[in-house]
Amino acid sequence: MKLSNPELLRSQCLIDGEWCAAQSGKREAVINPATGEELATIPLIGSAETERAIDAAQRAQQSWKQQTAKQRAALMLAWAEHIMAAQEDLAQLMTAEQGKSLAEARGEVAYAASFITWFAEEAKRVDGAVLQAPQASQRLVVIKQPIGVCAAITPWNFPAAMITRKAAPALAAGCSMIVKPAEQTPLTALALGKLAQDAGIPAGVLQIVTGEAAQVARCCATARWCAN
C-alpha cells in the first residue's frame, strides 16, 4: 500500500493535539483481512490516557464554543476539503484495513465529507427564539448552547462515514469530540484526525483514541465532563 501522503498512515493516538503511544507500551496489529498482511500497529491505551483526552476535550470545548458558528463552519469546511483532496489515500487505507472495494471506499470518503459540509452549513442556522411572556415587564429568550464533551465508539463497516456523521454535528454545535474507532479499522480514523489537524481544527476539539472499547467507554460514561 503506497500513499501519496505517507503521513496519513498513523500509528499513534491523537490526544490534545499530540500523537502519542500508550503509557503501557501495549500495541495491537491492524491486519488486512484479504491477505493477512500486517498493515501497522496501534496503541492500546488505558484509562489514564482516556481521562487525559477527556480533560483536554473539556478545556478545548470552552474556547471552541466561544467561536461563532461562521468560524466553526469555516474550519469544518476546510476539513472536508482536506478529506476530498486525500480521497484516494483514504480509500486505499479503508480498502486495506476493512476489505471493501476501492470504488466503494472512494464513495464512502465522499459520503463522509458530505456530513461535514452539511453540518457546517447547519451550524449557521442554529437559531434561538423570543417567546411571549406572561407579563409586559418580562422578556423570554431561548438560547441554544452546546452540551459539552461528546464521545463516539464507531463500527468497522463504515470507518469514515460513521465518524463524521457523529463528529460533524457535535463540532458544528460547539461541542468537542472523542472518537474510539473499531479495532479492525483504526487507520482511517487516525487519518481523519490528521486531516482535521491540517485543516486547523484546534487541539483537543477532535481526538482519536485506540484501545479496548469497554475500557474507553467506561471512562467516558463515568467522566463528569462527558455529556453525550
pTM above 0.85, yes or no: yes
Taking each helix axis as running N to C, give the angle between helix 69-85 and helix 186-199, from 0 to 180 degrees, rounded to the nearest 10: 130
Strand partners, 131: 140
Q: Give the pLDDT confidence score for residue 149 in this predicted structure.
A: 95
- Reduce the DSSP state of residue 149 to 3 states and report it: strand
Nearest one of 153, 159, 161 to 177, comparing CA atoms: 153
Report pLDDT for 225: 67
Return averaged pLDDT per consecutive 10 residues of the chain, 228 residues in all.
94 97 93 96 93 95 96 98 98 97 98 98 88 90 91 96 98 97 97 98 97 84 70
Could you give the domains of the chain?
A: 9-222 (3.40.605.10)
What pLDDT shows up at residue 221?
80
- pLDDT given for residue 201 in this prediction: 98
Question: Exposure of 227 by Cβ count < 10 A (0-12 exposed, 13-18 middle, 19+ buried)?
Answer: middle
Instruction: Determine the pLDDT at residue 228.
Output: 59
Q: Cα dist. 220→123, 162, 177, 210, 226 in Å?
A: 25, 18, 11, 13, 6
